[in-house]
Each structure stands twice: as structure tokens, then as C-alpha cells.
């Protein structure tokens, strides 16, 4: 299993829980300093940089990856106002991380996934659903809607190879991004998501599910 953005938040909770359960886990982080988590191999990756993806792919060449979890993401516009917020540079940064970064991660590691007959999990959000439109957070919502669309189309293209793609809402989680008032802990989210990943198959490819197993409307 390889988890992008595993150095904090939900990604770190996933890595810790999976490693404790006996899985072979690799996690990516930004910059030079890797966290220390028992049983987790740390790999450097800047998800917005094609050269970084090429370097990671070269390092992992020939190594099967049974599950790629695309978790790395940012949320920069939570408190922006329509009248004067949502600057172009935040649009560019958010889409680069939350959409292009997901695609490049999958594209660069697809040979490893194919070698394992593996599967792909994309951590999206209910905020990307067409059924959830309470306003605000335009940039983040648009990026997660794009990630959801990306996952659905990848599921179509990879189904014939036996590679399943699932898209997941992790819940409103008490992380730096989710805030202290969120509904569930990182550990609860990680436990539920790992169960969802285990149940992902070609029969359910293209699914959009919540951390607790409920199907989420698109």
C-alpha cells in the first residue's frame, strides 16, 4: 500500500493503522524531513511536480503496489468572501494539488499497480458532490468535484484491466483541515476507510462512498 500525503492528518492515521495491522505501507511526504512511524517506509513526493513523480516511479520500478491511496490535498479558501476572496493563485495551487496531483500519482505508478493487479482509492469529499451546494469554498469544492469526476472516468478506463477505482468521503474529521469541532477522529476515519478499501473490487469500481460504508450521491 502506498499513501500520498501520509505525513499528517487522515493520511498518517491510515498509514499507522494499516502498518499496525500488518500491511506493508509506504507513505509520501513533502520536503526532506520524514516522520517516524513504526512500520512505514517514507518516500519524498511533491505531487505538483512531474519530475518528483518520475523520480518516485524510478525508485519504485518493478515493485508491485496493491493499493494506491491518493490522499494528498489542500484547503486554502475556507474563509474567503465572494466579494474579495478566491484569488487566481489559490485556484491554481489547489487544482494542481487536488486534481493534477492525483492524476500524476496514478499515471506515474500505474505500472506498479498493474503488476500487482491492484486498486486505487481517491480521497475526495462530500463537498465535491453536486447534491451538496450550501455555498462558499468554491475552489475546494470545484477541486473535489474534479477529483470525483476523474475517479469515475479512470474507473471506466481501467475496469477492463481488472483495476478498481473507488472515491471516498472521509467524513468531517478532526484534523488541521477539518478543525476541532468536526464529527469524528482521524482514527475513526482511518478505520472506516480501510474497511472500504478492502471491499473495493471491479464489481464496485467507480463507487463514491462515505467512510462508514454509506453510498454517497454524486
Which residues have C-beta within 8 Å of that of residue 3, sequence separation ≥ 6?
A: 11, 14, 15, 18, 25, 26, 27, 28, 69, 71
Instruction: Give the tens place of pLDDT for each residue, 150-164.
Output: 999 999 999 999 999
More confident residue, 175 or 16: 16
Task: Categorize the per-residue pLDDT at 187 as very low, low, confident or very high, splitting at 50, 70 and 90.
Answer: very high
Q: Which residue of the set 75, 138, 140, 168 is catalytic?
A: 140
**Mean local confidence (pLDDT), 198-213:** 97
Dihedral of alpha carbons 34, 20, 116, 95, sign: negative
- The pLDDT value given to residue 36: 85
Task: Categorize the per-residue pLDDT at 179 as very low, low, confident or very high, splitting at 50, 70 and 90.
Answer: confident
The CATH code of the domain that includes 120 is 3.40.50.720
- The pLDDT value given to residue 175: 75
Average model confidence (pLDDT) for the chain? 95
Distance CA 121, CA 168 (A): 7
Q: Is residue 215 part of a domain?
A: no
Q: Is residue 61 part of a domain?
A: yes
- The pLDDT value given to residue 183: 80
Q: Is residue 6 part of a domain?
A: yes
Q: Is residue 75 part of a domain?
A: yes
Closest CA to 64 of 21, 4, 117, 25: 117
On the question of pLDDT at 171 being above 90, the answer is no
Share of the chain above pLDDT 90, in %: 88
Task: Categorize the per-residue pLDDT at 31 as very low, low, confident or very high, splitting at 50, 70 and 90.
Answer: confident
Report whether 78 contacts 103 (CB < 8 A): no
**Mean local confidence (pLDDT), 87-101:** 98
Q: Is residue 216 part of a domain?
A: no
Closest CA to 178 of 211, 216, 131: 211
Q: Is residue 218 part of a domain?
A: no
Query: Kind and range of the H or E element at 19?
Result: helix 9-20
**Mean local confidence (pLDDT), 92-112:** 98
Report whether 74 contacts 93 (CB < 8 A): yes
Structural domain containing residue 106: 2-210
Q: What is the residue-wise DSSP string for 66-102?
A: SEEEE-------TT--TTT---HHHHHHHHIIIIIHH
- 138 flagged as catalytic: no
- Total structural domains in the chain? 1
- The pLDDT value given to residue 197: 98
**Mean local confidence (pLDDT), 26-53:** 92
Amino acid at each position: 500500500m502506498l499513501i500520498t500525503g501520509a505525513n499528517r492528518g487522515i493520511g498518517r492515521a491510515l498509514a499507522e493503522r494499516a502498518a499496525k495491522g500488518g500491511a506493508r505501507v509506504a507513505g509520501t511526504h513533502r520536503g526532506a524531513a520524514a516522520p517516524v512511524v513504526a512500520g512505514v517506509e517514507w518516500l519524498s513526493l511533491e505531487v505538483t511536480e512531474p519530475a518528483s513523480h518520475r523520480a518516485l516511479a524510478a525508485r519504485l520500478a518493478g515493485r508491485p503496489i496493491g493499493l494506491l491511496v491518493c490522499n494528498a490535498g489542500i484547503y486554502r479558501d475556507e474563509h474567503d468572501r465572494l466579494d474579495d476572496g478566491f484569488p487566481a493563485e489559490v485556484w491554481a495551487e489547489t487544482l494542481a494539488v487536488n486534481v493534477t496531483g492525483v492524476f500524476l500519482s496514478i499515471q506515474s505508478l500505474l505500472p506498479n499497480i498493474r503488476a500487482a493487479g491492484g486498486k486505487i482509492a481517491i480521497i475526495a469529499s462530500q463537498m465535491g458532490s453536486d447534491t451538496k451546494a450550501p455555498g462558499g469554498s468554491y475552489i475546494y469544492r470545484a477541486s473535489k468535484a474534479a477529483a470525483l469526476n476523474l475517479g469515475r472516468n479512470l474507473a471506466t478506463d481501467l475496469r477492463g484491466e481488472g483495476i478498481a477505482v473507488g472515491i471516498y468521503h472521509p467524513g468531517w474529521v478532526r484534523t488541521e483541515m477539518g478543525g476541532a469541532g468536526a464529527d469524528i477522529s482521524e482514527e475513526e476515519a482511518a478505520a472506516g476507510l480501510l474497511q472500504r478499501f478492502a471491499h473495493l473490487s471491479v464489481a464496485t469500481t467507480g463507487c463514491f462512498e462515505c467512510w462508514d460504508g454509506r453510498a454517497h450521491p454524486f
